Structure 1
Amino acid sequence: MTAPSAELQFVTFSLGEELFAVPVGVVREILDHEDAFKIPHGPDYLLGLRDVRGQGVPVIDLRLRLGMSATVKTPHTRILVLDVPIGDKLLALGLVADRVYEVVPFRQEQIEAAPDIGIRWRSDYIAGVVRRDQSFVVIVDLARLFSDAGPALSGVAPAARVA
């Protein structure tokens, strides 16, 4: 008899027609979109800072970070506030998503390795893909995506972990 497969929980969201997911454990909260306080000379994907419960959190246009066109704000646009573990610190980030859907469980054996070809963005930012209906859900490797983000994000103070 085999042991039951571990289920992992993910928050799903879209960028255009593409469906993405991040582990539910890194999501602090989901906010309505508001314009961020602009930071001069930051990378194009860094939209600025947003006050989140007294903490200045950098807001990232994930579409630009992944090489897509910039986000166009709609009534469905949301900001996922994340605490991303990078090395020995926690990086607080706000990711702009075109739409946030739901928390879904994926069994570990459903998660496939990232393909090397056939995808429009660099696959080293993909932790895995899950087949869903007639398409795929791309699980973003947040640590890889932001560990090489450069000095604009590397100096951000670590987030406090709330139990």
Structure 2
Amino acid sequence: MSENSSEQQFVTFSLGEEVFAVPVAVVREILDHEDAFKIPHGPDYLLGLRDVRGQGVPVIDLRLKLGMTATIKTPHTRILVMDIPLANRSLAVGVVADKVFEVIPFQLKDIEQAPDIGVQWRSDYIHGVVRREQGFVVIIDLARLFSGEEVALDVTPSRKFATA
């Protein structure tokens, strides 16, 4: 087994044509897509709640959260249920992915910083990118993505962003 300091396991998935990854350690399970119980007045990316083994878990359309077009459900659409470590707690959230590919190890030395160029999503949510033969894999910084202005998901007041 590889040393933890040189390699980390990730779950890869697609949003449209782009490939993203999250650490396998935060993924609780991967579920088939089912419509969520709608929550009135939530942000557009909050699809609602889903019962996951007796726990109400908010379901997020990650495409909308990242500034992309809304997910169109297909037979490949999945929900990654994750426990995301935040400051002093863990946030349970379901994230909709167009397709889940695999669990894959990335060498930490191969994870590059995100280039500072114009992209569809805010680059501070990108932990890094990994080059592969078929393109790049974007590793999402989940703590940054789900902290700050997410008052619908997080009861802790935001200190980082002003509300618009």
Fold match, TM over 0.5? yes
Alignment of 1:139-158 (within 5 A): 139-155=139-155
Q: Matches of 1:43 and 1:73 in 2, distance apart?
A: 19
1:56 aligns with 2:84: no
What SS does the corresponding residue of 2:152 show, helix, strand or coil? helix
Q: Matches of 1:71 and 1:148 in 2, distance apart?
A: 23
Q: Matches of 2:88 and 2:141 in 1, distance apart?
A: 16
Q: Residues 4 and 61 (structure 1 numbering): CA distance in 2 closer, same or farther, change over 3 Å? A: closer
Deviation, 1:120, is 2.1
CA contact (8 A) 1:126 1:139 kept: yes
Q: Matches of 1:36 and 1:140 in 2, distance apart?
A: 23
Partner letter of residue 19 of structure 2?
A: L
Deviation, 1:155, is 3.0
- Aligned counterpart, 2:162: none
Deviation, 1:148, is 1.6
* TM-score, length of structure 2 as denominator length: 0.90
What SS does the corresponding residue of 2:153 show, helix, strand or coil? helix
Alignment of 1:6-17 (within 5 A): 6-17=6-17
Deviation, 1:150, is 2.5
Over aligned residue pairs, what C-alpha RMSD do you find? 1.6
CA contact (8 A) 1:5 1:107 kept: no
What SS does the corresponding residue of 1:124 show, helix, strand or coil? helix
Q: Residues 111 and 35 (structure 1 numbering): CA distance in 2 closer, same or farther, change over 3 Å? A: same
What SS does the corresponding residue of 1:57 show, helix, strand or coil? strand
Q: Residues 58 and 4 (structure 1 numbering): CA distance in 2 closer, same or farther, change over 3 Å? A: closer
CA contact (8 A) 1:28 1:83 kept: yes
Q: Which moved more, 1:3-12 or 1:83-92?
A: 3-12
- How many residues of Structure 1 are paired with residues of Structure 2 in the alignment? 154
1:31 aligns with 2:59: no
- Aligned counterpart, 1:127: 127
- Aligned counterpart, 2:74: 74
Structure 1 unaligned residues grouped into runs of 5+: 157-163
How many percent of aligned residue pairs carry the same amino acid? 75
- Aligned counterpart, 2:160: none
Q: Deviations over 1:89-139 (max 9, x none)?
A: 000000000000000000011000011104321100000000011410000
Structure 2 unaligned residues grouped into runs of 5+: 157-164
What SS does the corresponding residue of 1:105 show, helix, strand or coil? strand
Q: Matches of 1:99 and 1:4 in 2, distance apart?
A: 27
